[in-house]
Amino acid sequence: MSKAERVCSDLSAALDELRSAGFRLDSIYPADDPHTALLSRGNEVLRVTTRPGSALPSEIPHFAPDFVLTPAGGDGGQGRAGMIYRDLVPGRLGGRYIASHILIPEGGAVADWVHYHRVALQLIAVRRGWVRVVYEDQGDPFVMQPGDLVLQPPEIRHRVLESSSGLEVIEISCPALHETLADHDLELPNGANSERLFGGQAFVRHIGTAAPWNPFKGGEAQETSIADATQGLADVRFLRFAGSAPITFAGHDGELVFGFVLEGSASLGFGPGFALGPADSFVIPPGEPWTLSGSSADFRLLYVTTARLG
């Protein structure tokens, strides 16, 4: 099998040209700003890139803790399958994590294909609109609405089928840089096997309208089953608070402490303090306490923590 590399200035144009010449796309990365792809045609394998010399990490990069505050607004970049990606953690915490606010402005069919990722962790939560998706061994396609969330365990095959106009989702993955790999042979849906594990993790579909709200630190929390599904690797909750009284969070004995404001406003008590509004996000270094106060009646927060990966 022959393998060659082609350096180009416009990856999208190069992919269109090669597909018309009979090549198929086997992998592409990164999803938020694609610069490298592998294609094949018979025994030919072609690496196409706008960044010669770039390579995927051979192992998960070391965690580099930092405080990050990312305000809403700003233009996102063109990602794969016509999706717009707004980077929520530009420094990537040493390359360990990526968090993205993903938008699909125009509704309808999504130019996606059956694919998978070699990741340690990946989850997606819907903020606005709806999206129809299908997953390996999870039965028929289903629609995700605001407040819904999925855990995509390592290497599970899946596909985004269609969405509403103005779809917004938050995606968190580890490591930050990873491939989107095509599976040309598997057709989805492919039946159901709810007991199957992928890389030691179970698939999770959290339906917001069906989950109860329970008391939490003077407010309420909607739990998910992600801690159990990942064997303690990650924990995800939806939080809601209202009122001026501060809510205190002790320092986290792990790695990632991530919050995304789904709706409403509050004050973040860390360092000099910061005002939070819709679509703002933050990362708190592990071991550091922080507070939320002055929460509006409609304040909702996506709250994600992870354990130490080693």
Q: What backbone phi and psi angles, to 5 degrees, belong to 288?
A: -100, 125
pLDDT more than 90, % of the chain: 91
pTM: 0.96
Same fold? 2-49, 209-306: no
Q: Are 177 and 148 in contact (CB under 8 A)?
A: no
* Residue 158 confidence (pLDDT) above 80: yes
- CATH number at 2-49: 3.30.720.120
Query: Which class is 209-306 in CATH?
Result: mainly beta
pLDDT classification of 1: cutoffs 50, 70, 90: low
Report the topology of domain 73-208: Jelly Rolls (2.60.120)
- What is the average pLDDT value for the chain, to the nearest integer? 95
Q: How far apart are the first and last CA of the chain?
A: 38
Domain ranges in the chain are: 2-49, 73-208, 209-306
List 109's β-bridge partners, or say none. Answer: 162
Question: What per-residue confidence (pLDDT) applies to 2?
Answer: 61
Cα separation, 32 vs 224, whole angstroms:
26
> CA-CA distance, 298 to 244, in Å (whole number)?
13
Q: What is the pLDDT of residues 192-233, one digit of tens each?
A: 998 999 999 999 999 999 999 999 999 999 999 999 999 999
77 falls in which pLDDT band (50, 70, 90)? confident
